[in-house]
Amino acid sequence: MNLSELKHAGLKQWVEETAALMTPDAVEICDGTKAEYDRMLKIMVDAKLGVKLNQDKRPDSYWFRSDPSDVARAESRTFIASKNKDDAGPTNNWTDPVELKKTMEGLYKGCMKGRTMYVIPFSMGPIGSDIAKIGVEISDSPYVVFNMHIMTRVGAKVLDVLGTDGFFVRCRHSIAKPLAAGEKDTGWPCEPDVNKKYISHFPDTYEIWSYGSGYGGNALLGKKCLALRIASVLGRDEGWLAEHMLILKLTNPQGKVKYIGGALPSACGKTNLAMLIPTLPGWKVECIGDDIAWMKFGADGQLYAINPECGFFGVLPGTSDHSNKSAMDSIKKNTIFTNCGLTEDGDVWWEQIGYPAPGKTITTWKGEVIPSPTTDKPVAGQEVAHVNARFTVPAQQCPVIAPEWDDPKGVPISAFLFGGRRAATIPLANQAKDWVHGVFMGSITGSEITAAALDLQAGSIRRDPFAMVPFCGYHMGDYFAHWLKLGKQAQDAGNGDKLPKIFFVNWFRKDENGKFMWPGYSENSRVLAWLFDRCDGADNFVETPIGNLPKPGSISLPSDVSEATMAELIKLDVDGWKKEIADVRENHYSKFGDKLPKELAAQLDVMEKGLNSL
């Protein structure tokens, strides 16, 4: 399809304007077909920017290496350019939208010279669903095109739904590497200076402008930019929720089903939990989504969730048959691998894959050929795979994908769980007393920083309310208020009992030797079973000032966890919580000023009083 065939006048004009600014050699409207997918891969492979893997080992799969400057989200270069600074809030980088557009127009000028401009119409959510939204991404990267094919619904059908005047989110993207006449790419093209990359959002006009990065959430603009930052603003304006949540379907031994949404920060275990294979006999987990949930209340007062994506962009290091067999089985074929190792026999390898690297040598994510490591243990500074190396794979390939995963109606949510990586204080499981208390717990979430952002110090703890700090497109205080408002509306309508029950979990407690106290992964099914029963009112809890903790004996013990360890994992650490309260009050809640909902400040006082009276 070419430009003149576009029926949507607004879209046509915007594409023409963008082409005039970026001056590509050609413009192509993407149709989402397999032929197009294959052609984009061929362009990258022919240019030596990617390698087709051994067809017998990993059919129809490819290996890519990005630039060392371009391996994860760049949070310091992510901007929320709302008209009013106050709408961005203390957790976002704000910049004046007029200034930012001026700067970026300067950068965009001629940035696609020597390349083709791809126009990618995509739907987040099943095409035509009430909850779905349409976006159009303009990009000069074939890598972006085939990844968008996997992660979103791309193609002519989207243009049909858009019609002649439908709404779409305008997403501009360039890798920022124009080519002179005759010049060829010699490696992953991008802007190598991190401080010259831009991931910009204009919430007032629902626009996204990205420049200089070709990797992940910086470049696949349907994902974090549209489905979270812009969608959170749409959700605020239209009364729904766009969250950094997995969605799983949990079936108990009696065949009863509950759907659960789980918000954990980046690289904290959403993909693992979403596809978990329970060790607990009779229980079953099926996957609806592993990263993002869009949720709306139905006419029946129930909250319904869809997964707006249709693929997984999952972390490779640490993924093994032990930690996530479902993911390992999903990526056996038809998968894009970025920034892991390439073996001599044309397969992929990464740290903690569960077996040593085969062959004499291996090519690392930096392109160096080194002797194959004899174990799969990571060696700091000598990683074969980058710690944020990822796979892109269609959701359909997951062996435990739920049959209803792409139902346009969505699935009714019974429970939310929040969590983070915390070595101390935070118990294995804890149930909020009610909606407001649950929102309070979500709002104080802290987690150790992981490698999913390239410009933050991994390891230190930061507050990451609702796992949304990098992804909320507006003021976090207003975001808390939005959650409180939706709960109150449900209660006022007599639907309080249909609100999801809220839980807090922590798989990451460590003992005095720095060893994880809880085996995690498949064993997390024991905690899921506890909260499933809790939703049904089971007498399996003890009331405490921090919430409803598991009653001793109510979570069955994995074989490698002693009763003493379990007791430690579910006990109330009074001194730890007092410190937590002080830290939240001084260093976290203090940032929100008068935008902090009074109900949340009050929760902190009530909890403190409760702890002091013990």
Residues within the interface to ligand GTP (CB under 6 A): 264, 266-272, 290-291, 314-315, 318, 323, 452, 507-508, 516, 520-521, 524
Q: What is each CA distance from 211 to 74, 106, 608, in whole angstroms?
A: 11, 11, 46
The residues near 505 (Cβ < 8 Å, ≥ 6 apart) are: 417, 418, 419, 428, 429, 430, 524, 527
Indicate which residues carry an active-site annotation. 268
- Closer of 212 and 217 to Mn ion (Cβ): 217
- Closer of 170 and 422 to ligand GTP (Cβ): 422
- Nearest residue to 489 (alpha-carbon basis) of 303, 229, 294: 303
Binding partner of residue 236 among Mn ion, ligand SPV, ligand GTP, none, CB under 5 to 8 Å per kind? none
Task: Specify which residues 257 forms β-bridges with.
Answer: 251
Helices 142-151 + 34-46 axis angle, to 10:
140
Select the span of 87-95, 97-105, 125-133, 217-225 touching ligand SPV (CB under 6 A). Answer: 217-225
Q: What is each CA distance from 549 to 67, 476, 540, 552, 604, in whole angstroms?
A: 46, 28, 9, 9, 18
- Closer of 69 and 266 to ligand SPV (Cβ): 266
Let me know: does 452 contact 267? Beta carbons within 8 Å. Answer: yes
Select the span of 99-107, 258-266, 421-429, 458-466 touching Mn ion (CB under 5 A). Answer: 258-266
Q: How many angstroms separate the CA atoms of 364 and 382, rounded? A: 9
Let me know: does 309 contact 289? Beta carbons within 8 Å. Answer: yes
Helices 97-108 + 9-22 axis angle, to 10:
60
Nearest residue relative to ligand GTP (C-beta): 520
Minimum gap (Å) between residue 262 Cβ and ligand GTP: 9
Confirm or reject binding of residue 419 to ligand SPV (CB under 6 A). Answer: no
Confirm or reject binding of residue 223 to ligand SPV (CB under 6 A). Answer: yes
Neighbours of 296 (CB within 10 A): 18
End-to-end CA distance of the chain: 70
Footprint on residues 273-292 left by ligand SPV (CB under 6 A): 291
Footprint on residues 261-320 left by Mn ion (CB under 5 A): 266, 291
Q: How many angstroms separate the CA atoms of 542 and 335, rounded? A: 46
Minimum gap (Å) between residue 464 Cβ and ligand SPV: 11
Q: How many angstroms separate the CA atoms of 431 and 436, rounded? A: 12
Nearest 10 degrees: CA dihedral of 307, 295, 441, 216? 30
- Closer of 422 and 588 to ligand GTP (Cβ): 422
Binding partner of residue 314 among Mn ion, ligand SPV, ligand GTP, none, CB under 5 to 8 Å per kind? ligand GTP
Q: Which of 226, 452, 454, 566 binds ligand SPV (CB under 6 A)?
A: 452
Confirm or reject binding of residue 216 to ligand SPV (CB under 6 A). Answer: yes
Footprint on residues 497-516 left by Mn ion (CB under 5 A): none
- According to DSSP, the β-strands at 116-124 and 153-154 are antiparallel
Binding partner of residue 217 among Mn ion, ligand GTP, ligand SPV, none, CB under 5 to 8 Å per kind? ligand SPV
- Closer of 316 and 484 to ligand GTP (Cβ): 316
Neighbours of 506 (CB within 10 A): 25
Confirm or reject binding of residue 36 to Mn ion (CB under 5 A). Answer: no
DSSP string, 520-534: -GGGGHHHHHHHHHH
- Closer of 74 and 444 to ligand SPV (Cβ): 74
Confirm or reject binding of residue 123 to ligand SPV (CB under 6 A). Answer: no
Q: How many angstroms separate the CA atoms of 4 and 119, rounded? A: 13
Binding partner of residue 18 among ligand GTP, Mn ion, ligand SPV, none, CB under 5 to 8 Å per kind? none
- Closer of 191 and 291 to Mn ion (Cβ): 291
Number of residues near Mn ion (by CB under 5 A):
2
Footprint on residues 50-79 left by ligand SPV (CB under 6 A): 73
> Which residues of this protein are in contact with ligand SPV, per CB under 6 A?
73, 216-217, 223-224, 266, 291, 313, 452
> Which residues of this protein are in contact with Mn ion, per CB under 5 A?
266, 291
